[in-house]
Amino acid sequence: MATDTLKHTEVDHQNDDGSWDGASEPFKASYGKLMMWYFLLSDAFTFAGFLISYGALRMSSPSWPVPDFVFSTFPGGIHHAPLLFVTLMTFILLASSFTMVRAVQEGHQENKKGVTFWMILTIVGGLGFLGCQAWEWNTLIGGESVSYHTNPFGTHTESGVYLAGDGHDIEEGDTFVPGDSYLIHKHDGEWGNLPYQVTDGPDTGEIKEMEFGPRAFGALFFFITGFHGFHVFSGVIFLIIIMVNVISGLYEERRNGYEMVEKIGLYWHFVDLVWVFVFLVFYLL
């Protein structure tokens, strides 16, 4: 035994059935696919860092905007439809993930027309999602005046009665209880923080004014959904490039066939995966 081991070291693993000769694939995956996986892993850590900082700041804040109240508008002038629009966005992204799976499957079949067809649908889905996000941002910035440093979405911490109306949802004399959400509207560039009278607790009878919500909300929302949107946008660009290559017949000539479609597929599913968590953290919890 001892001599065997010695001999083994001396010959520098020559009898190791070729493990050190290269050209073996312990992970049975190509270099490109493997590196895509590790890129996605690192990207997952980036997103996790953002979402965790969101969690920490939210925990440190005495109140936080209620998502069902903040995200309740829908195109066509529909209000008070909590989470409807973001559910639609989720479905668009899920659908584009499905069409991507189909494109990869057609790639395995070496079916050029099939790959092109399903990739076009995926691109349409990606653009649809980006369009929805643009609308959502526009509503928040243009319609509700949320910015990275101002958050007009507040939450009441005591009961009370409004002493004025804002011409939107709140009328003079309306009452509220702790936990009720409000939106401070901007009129002609001026913030309309409504006055109200407290009706319970130690401050009963005092007249106060609506306060702005935790200011970190806007920055976190725009930064994290923006970073995700940027991923979707670059995904669409890559999808278009690869689709053009598919149409040109480039991958028919390649030894590894339609592997590029598989790689962009991995990326695209990852974008969908991140959305699952952004959806969870921003809209559901």
Quick check: 258 and 107 in contact, CB under 8 A? yes
Give every CB contact of residue 104 below 8 A, 6+ residues apart in sequence. 258, 261, 262, 265
Rg, the chain, Cα only = 27
Which one, of 268, 269, 234, 264, lies nearest residue 251 by Cα? Answer: 264
d(CA 240, CA 236): 6
**Binding another protein by CB under 8 A: which of 1, 2, 23, 59?**
59
- Smallest gap from Cβ 168 to another protein, in A, equals 20
User: Is the CB of 97 or the CB of 133 nearer to another protein?
Assistant: 97
In degrees and rounded to multiples of 5, residue 18 shows phi and psi of 75, 10
Q: Which of residues 62-81 bind another protein (CB under 8 A)?
A: 62, 66, 68
**Binding another protein by CB under 8 A: which of 18, 20, 24, 29?**
29
Residue span binding another protein (CB under 8 A) among the ranges 32-40, 146-154, 184-192, 226-234: 32-40
- Smallest gap from Cβ 178 to another protein, in A, equals 14
- Smallest gap from Cβ 2 to another protein, in A, equals 32
Residue span binding another protein (CB under 8 A) among the ranges 4-12, 53-61, 189-197, 201-209: 53-61
- Smallest gap from Cβ 110 to another protein, in A, equals 11
Which one, of 208, 270, 203, 204, lies nearest residue 234 by Cα? Answer: 270
Quick check: 277 and 137 in contact, CB under 8 A? no
d(CA 172, CA 180): 16
**Which residue in the block uniquely carries the two structure tokens 């643009």?**
134
Q: Does 53 bind another protein (CB under 8 A)?
A: yes
191: three-class secondary structure by DSSP = strand
Q: Does 48 bind another protein (CB under 8 A)?
A: yes
- Smallest gap from Cβ 215 to another protein, in A, equals 7
Where on the chain is the footprint of another protein (CB under 8 A)? 26-29, 34, 37-38, 40-41, 44-45, 48-49, 52-53, 55-62, 66, 68, 82-83, 87, 90-91, 94-95, 97-98, 100-102, 105, 108-109, 215, 265-266, 269-270, 272-273, 276-277, 279-280, 283-285
